[in-house]
Amino acid sequence: MHRPSAPRTIWFVVFPGFELLDLSGPLCAFNLAIDFHKVRYKVHIVSAPGGLVRGSSGVLIDSASPPSANHLDTLIVVGAATPETMNAQEQTVDLIRTYAPLARRKASVCTGAFLLAETGLLDGHRATTHWRCAGELQRRYPTISVDADRIFVREDDIWTSAGITSGIDMALAMIEEDCGSEISKAIARDLVVYHRRTGGQSQFSTMLELEPRPGRIRDALAYARVHLSERLSVERLAEVANVSPRQFARQFTAETGDTPARAVERLRCEAAIPRIEGTREPLELIARQVGFGDMERMRRACIRIYGQSPQALRRRGRSLSA
């Protein structure tokens, strides 16, 4: 077990309309490290103007103007309910742009990634955000490689987390980096959350919610849903969209934040899950009929997306209906 030998200063950056849970979840994790495990963190809630800041839920949070940043360790930008809230945050973007270079770690929770992206910090990096907003992040900032399925992404000194409660997952990983796994596990138990969540955002979202804007890409997805049992190569979907395969793959990723192959895999899993959990059909038959071809491919897809094998998902379905 190890702890930081010197105090580590953590800033949470808030702004009008911020999402309260984006702040309170990871803030609680760090405060538990301070209160129960004697970790030497110093936590500040800061905003560009300082003073009371009203979140989207109406709760007022008392924030400080940026204090001395000589020893700033971690800067975490919280998110808001929609990316549109970020459009009027010029002062906050300036704050991040000024102080992020001084921080050892830069991070965002949920749609806070849009503010990091606006500063240029995410250019050329992998990042994630709430699954509902991943396509929009990719469209606005095409130099970012958006991973729509990750709970959080760490690349060099930049961390981004997915939707809302995933900020807790990211905070636990930061505490583990600073203090070791025993302390982070203990804090996870205190919070009554998983120490490391299995699966990705896909287990909480649906492709219906990730649909792109009306047009060729949406038409190709609609075609894929109806023809899941058939071979759905990029070439075939591009033909449906009436564009070249290369253009289709590029446009698909730009509009959805996912690759065509992974999107088709997710569609097949979503078609399979009700039959896996709610019927006694042979799993091999389900795998063939939703387009996986064989049981092994369906097994790998279920583990990647849901963190469990089809057999485990079937047992869970039976236990819930018992």
Q: What pLDDT, on a 0 to 100 scale, did the predictor assign at position 315? A: 86
Tell me, what's the pLDDT at 143?
95
Question: pLDDT of 245-294, one tens digit each?
Answer: 999 999 998 888 789 999 999 899 988 988 998 889 999 999 999 999 99
With contact defined as beta carbons under 8 Å apart, do 10 and 74 qualify? Answer: yes
60-63 and 51-54 beta bridge pairing: antiparallel
Token pair in block for residue 155: 């690349």
pLDDT computed for residue 228 by the predictor = 94
Return the structure tokens found at 64.
């400080």
Could you give the CA distance from residue 271 to residue 287 in angstroms, rounded to a whole number?
10
pLDDT of residue 322: 54
Catalytic site residue from 110, 133, 179, 302:
110
The residues facing 51 across adjacent strands are: 63
**Given 3.40.50.1980, 3.40.50.880, 3.30.420.40, 2.40.30.10, which CATH number is that of 8-203?**
3.40.50.880
Q: Which residues pair with 76 in a beta bridge?
A: 12, 107
Superfamily of domain 216-321: Homeodomain-like (1.10.10.60)
User: Where in the chain are the domains?
Assistant: 8-203, 216-321
The CA–CA distances, whole Å, from 180 to 72, 133, 153, 213 equal: 21, 32, 19, 44
Q: Which pLDDT tens digit goes with each residue over 192-213?
A: 987 777 556 665 655 545 556 6
Q: What is the pLDDT of residue 1?
A: 47
DSSP string, 70-89: TTEEEEEE--BSSGGGGGG-
Helical (H) or strand (E) element with 9: strand 8-13
Which residues share a beta bridge with 54? 60
Residues of the chain with pLDDT under 70: 1-5, 69, 198-214, 319-322
- The CB density around residue 307, as the number of other CB atoms within 10 Å, is 16
Collapsing DSSP to helix, strand or coil, 44 comes out as: strand
pTM to 2 decimal places: 0.71
Structure confidence at residue 51 (pLDDT): 97
Would residue 179 show up in a list of annotated catalytic residues for this protein?
Answer: no
